[in-house]
Amino acid sequence: MKVRVAVLDDYNGAAERSADWKRLSDMATVTFFKDHLTDGPQLAARLRDFEVVVIERERTPFRRGLIAALPNLRLLIATGPINWSIDFAYAAERGITVCGTDALQTFTPELTLGLLLALARRIVVEDRFVRAGGWQSGVGSTLKGKVLGLVGLGQVGRMVAQLAKPFGTDVAAWSQNLTREAAAAAGVRWLGKDELLATADFVSLHVVLSDRTRGMIGAAELSRMKPSAFLVNTSRGPLVDETALIAALTERRIAGAALDVFDVEPLSAAHPFRLLDNVIVTPHVGYITDEQCCLFYGQVVENILAYGAGKPIRLLKAA
């Protein structure tokens, strides 16, 4: 009997078209789900009969309750090499194999730079204004001479710094473990957290979500930013206190924000981020390109084939 494979949250069909799923035709049947279920019982009912479930990054968390409701689950595959939304210990207790894929790292820095330019040059604002019949609603600014404050200087943060510096941007960085020496080696200035927030024209987040970093940008941090400053988040939504950010944007205590990640995804239809005119929102596409999808889902197919043949697979780890 063929194993049943569920591919979740394939909103736009990218998973289905990015790999040769026919390679599994002798051993598996594959079902692609285009919608996103947040209701636990509904999701459990949907997945109850599947032996293999493929999840897109952290879009659908697999905690103990959901795993316990899936008696047939044998293989859980997440795209990417790291995932913080899976209960690895309980999956192991249940004898469920959890694996992942490689990921290309250059795409989120590209989107980050695009969002910086969109904020500075008012690209989205002016596009909306022209489409509404207007012409030149305001005046943008240049990145040259502006301070870009990076919260986090890991692989992605360093790439953002490299992309921004040719524009003449003054790049500074801070994180809980960043030293002056490490910042200097990356070609950026080290600043303390408070000084970075107070002086940056753009604050861009590039740290891993953990218990230590969750909510690290809250009301107090936002209050330290200049009224003319912008916040950019292409890392993880819960790094920012969403309620505090909505208040700061609504009251114009900061100039605006560009967000690719959110506490709950997809955003609800009436979410304030959809309504505020000083926010650019993109649907968590920083890491997604055609090239990334081909890598992700090509390796998903390889993982399923390897698992069926009893061969080594790409293991996944928690963030």
pLDDT for 314 = 75
Q: Give residue 312's pLDDT.
A: 78
CA distance 213 to 194: 16
Domains of the chain, each with CATH number or no CATH:
3-103+289-308 (3.40.50.720), 107-281 (3.40.50.720)
pLDDT of amino acid 319: 59
Using CA atoms, how far apart are residues 119 and 269, in angstroms rounded to an integer? 24
CA distance 248 to 255: 9
Segment 97-108, tens digit of pLDDT: 999 999 988 899
User: Phi and psi at residue 86, in whole multiples of 5°?
Assistant: -115, 140
Is the pTM here over 0.85, yes or no? yes
Amino acid code (one letter) for 274: R
Q: List the structure tokens of 23.
A: 């390679």
Q: Which residue has the tokens 């005046």?
A: 139
Nearest 5°: the CA angle 235, 241, 243 is 130
Which residues in the chain come in under a pLDDT of 70?
Answer: 317-319
> Which pLDDT value is given to residue 313?
81
How many angstroms separate the CA atoms of 60 and 72, rounded? Answer: 18
Burial per residue of 101-136, b for 16 or more beta-carbon CB atoms within 10 angstroms, e otherwise: bebeeebbbebbbbbbbbbbebebbbeeeeeeeeee
Q: Quick one: CA torsion of 39, 42, 44, 46, rounded to 10 degrees? A: -130
pLDDT at 13: 94
For residue 317, what pLDDT is reported? 67
Of 99, 49, 72, 106, nearest to 234 by C-alpha is: 106
Please give the positions annotated as active site.
236, 265, 284
